[in-house]
Structure 1
Amino acid sequence: MIPKRAKQAVGQRLLEAFRAAGAEEVAPDILLPAGSLLDLYGEDIRARAYVTADPIRGEMMLRPDFTVPVVEAHMTNGAEPARYCYLGEVFRKQDMGDQRPATLRDNEYLQAGFELFSRDPAADAEVFALFHRLLAPHRLRAEIGDMGLVLDAVRGLPLPEARREALLHHVWRPGRFRRMLARFSTPSVPRHFPEADAPWAGMRSEAEMIRRIARLNADAAVAPLPAIWTERLERLFRLRGPAPEVQAQLAELAEDMPAIAGAVARIGAQMAAIAGHGIDPEAVIFDASHGRTTLEYYDGFTFSFHVGNFHASREGWPPIASGGRYDALTRVLGKGREIPAVGGIIRPGLLAELEGAA
């Protein structure tokens, strides 16, 4: 068991490196208003966060992550460009998802993080290169992806807007997404809603129920998604390998899925910028599904660092570090303002365990 002081020592070392990279240290509250998180994620966040009630402040949550409070503070009175760093505990319930996890996650753990608010298109590469440099001594496996690629692929499906929006809502929940895609790929079963003389009952009004029935009837008339589009989407989700190799495969797939062409070009530029920092693209894994099981605010470039062949006894560990781009989050929390943003976190406790075993 690694003592907390050892984990804190690693965290302070990371914090010093983030400050040296130009970041201002911030310390968001541990107890946060639940409203912003519920507005962003809906009731799903309750399955992951510890929720309590205050008689004056209302519903509150133990801090599930740092990004949301940092973005809220920046969008209220921050200048741009801006760099922030932080160190502290986050609290997460066990997330069972669609299956019970083989390895239970910590309910409380230390995070050290770095957030960059900048309109510079090279910001993704800057943040990734910073994390890569800090973690290089630990010989971790670097993986990247781009949620914009996945989102553009779904937006390009020949489906009515309502069905596309439903798929986009569940894209971060692969099990639900897969089941919904299967339903949209088969003919709908017409539903019969007989008229009755009985009065309307329940929480919804008569007008709401009539609109709901009309939507269900309209959806039943929609033709199923042709199988070729499901096959293309599955091809995209399966792409994984050394970044240059996957880039070539993405370029081929873009011929069949024109909606992803812009994202493929952007990924090429990102890889060139990463190589410009002295990182070998062949040593970076590109996973087209990367980011689909994280918090929903990542909408572009994503990255993570994992234990690899050098740490076989740690197989099953969560990522040592992770992060990505979250432009849409700044629009939601910006009260009329927005700015491109990218950031990430490192788990000092896991690094302390690796260093203790070295």
Structure 2
Amino acid sequence: MTLTETILARFAAERIALAEVPILQPADPFLDMAGEDLRRRIFLTQSETGESLCLRPEFTIPVCRDHIARQAGTPRRYAYLGEVFRQHRAGGTQFLQAGIEDLGETDTSTADARSVADACRLLNEALPDAGLTVIIGDQAIFEAVLAALGLPRGWQMRLARAFGSADMLEAALTDLASPPKKRNLGQPISRLVAARDRAAVAGYLEKQMEVAGISPSAGRTPDDIARRLIEKAELGAVRIADDAFEALKRFLAIREPLAQAGETLRRFADDCDLFLDAALEQFEQRADALAAQQLQGASFTYDAAFGRPLDYYTGLVFEISAPSDPRPLVGGGRYDRLLTMLGAEHPIPGVGFSVWLDRIEGARKP
């Protein structure tokens, strides 16, 4: 049985229909919501009418857009298998990707556990006896810690956006410990930043980019740059207590087997006098639901510093790897904000995962 046949058989066994989404997609949703690393890798083009388009770099956003456009009912699960396209300095630029998106299930603990379990079972069929390693992170726990520590809202937002990027998080923590000296941006932009006029800053930057011949879609948008400049100006004046900073570092150092993680997190909360009950209750319910799946041949570890620097992740994030390849074979997580950001009229919870078929094929070779 080929890998593709194995995956399609798994989808059929779960009675999940395959979603069909076009290869050519509107670029703006990816440019607005994807992480900076993915934005740099997108293949961009334009339609005859000047609309920015791209070759799909992943499936989650297209599947969610299609669900909204069809006004489909929920809960509903979608499977997919097809090519995605990303620029790389070395190697290929198109890859086979498969996955499952689970939309509208209000029992989030059950849906989260099912998503992880589906990914593990798919890998166990494709790579029997591989010895899977599952890393679990939680955006909601991290954000609850930031709020309980009493950090200013601006710092909570910056740290939440950096969560999952070691470099971004380290830079943010360094600035939090000792805010950087103010930079002289020159006139007139420094005056606009000082006035906290985001629209004016973005407009000024857009004009400067046009003069320099830089496409606003080539990287960060003018509005994104404006937001960051104003945010840096606001954050530079903030000082936090040493005990709050030490508590944050202690939290990020937590790495435990998932079965012990709930107890460790409660001990941390008690020691630091932090109220995290709601977030911890959700965490423990998910851990119990995952244990009830009785998954064999996989080890589960909670890493408090593991996440993804994307605005729409809201809770669970996970990766699965095997000893044969240090790169993740599967990545997934909960994205309850995504469908609203894409235009849904009401909030729709979602969780899902993607499988990198080329990596699995490499691991299957003797």
Normalised to the residue count of structure 2, the TM-score between the two structures is: 0.78
Structure 1: state its 5+ residue gaps.
Answer: 1-5, 96-103, 194-199
Asked if the contact 1:24–1:85 (Cα under 8 Å) also holds between the matched residues in 2, the reply is yes
Q: Which residue matches 2:122?
A: 134
> What amino acid is aligned across from residue 108 of structure 1 in structure 2?
Q
Matched, 1:146 2:146: no
Q: Which residue matches 1:301?
A: 316
Q: Which residue matches 1:197?
A: none
Q: Which residue matches 1:100?
A: none
State how many pairs are aligned. 327
Superposed CA offset, 1:152-200 (max 9, x none): 223333333223223223334331222222222226757899xxxxxx9
Q: CA deviation at 1:20?
A: 2.1
Q: Percent identity of the aligned residues? A: 29
Asked if the contact 2:134–2:320 (Cα under 8 Å) also holds between the matched residues in 1, the reply is yes
Q: Which residue matches 2:201?
A: none
Distance in 2 separating the partners of 1:244 and 1:296 = 28
Correspondence for 1:116 among 102, 106, 109: 102
> What amino acid is aligned across from residue 131 of structure 1 in structure 2?
A
Matched, 1:67 2:83: no
SS of the aligned residue for 1:305 comes to: strand
**52-61 or 213-222, which moves further after superposition?**
213-222
Matched, 1:87 2:73: no
Please provide the CA RMSD for this pair: 3.1
Q: Which residue matches 1:246?
A: 261
Q: CA deviation at 1:245?
A: 2.4
Matched, 1:55 2:48: yes
Distance in 2 separating the partners of 1:326 and 1:297 = 5
Q: CA deviation at 1:275?
A: 1.4
> What amino acid is aligned across from residue 63 of structure 1 in structure 2?
R
Q: CA deviation at 1:287?
A: 1.5
Q: CA deviation at 1:296?
A: 4.7
Q: Which residue matches 1:231?
A: 246
Q: CA deviation at 1:331?
A: 1.8
Q: Which residue matches 2:29?
A: 36
Asked if the contact 1:174–1:292 (Cα under 8 Å) also holds between the matched residues in 2, the reply is no
**15-24 or 49-58, which moves further after superposition?**
49-58
Distance in 2 separating the partners of 1:17 and 1:51 = 34
Q: CA deviation at 1:246?
A: 2.4
Distance in 2 separating the partners of 1:355 and 1:221 = 54
Asked if the contact 2:44–2:52 (Cα under 8 Å) also holds between the matched residues in 1, the reply is yes
Q: Which residue matches 1:3?
A: none
Q: CA deviation at 1:42?
A: 7.6
SS of the aligned residue for 1:14 comes to: helix
Residues 72 and 169 of structure 1: CA distance in aligned 2, closer, same or farther (over 3 Å): same
Asked if the contact 1:171–1:177 (Cα under 8 Å) also holds between the matched residues in 2, the reply is yes
Asked if the contact 1:242–1:281 (Cα under 8 Å) also holds between the matched residues in 2, the reply is no
Q: Which residue matches 1:99?
A: none
Q: Which residue matches 2:328?
A: 319
Q: Which residue matches 1:338?
A: 347
Normalised to the residue count of structure 1, the TM-score between the two structures is: 0.80
> What amino acid is aligned across from residue 84 of structure 2 in structure 1?
V
Asked if the contact 1:170–1:177 (Cα under 8 Å) also holds between the matched residues in 2, the reply is yes
Distance in 2 separating the partners of 1:206 and 1:287 = 42
Correspondence for 2:299 among 283, 295, 298: 283
Q: CA deviation at 1:25?
A: 0.7
Residues 206 and 326 of structure 1: CA distance in aligned 2, closer, same or farther (over 3 Å): same
Q: CA deviation at 1:12?
A: 3.2
Residues 146 and 347 of structure 1: CA distance in aligned 2, closer, same or farther (over 3 Å): same
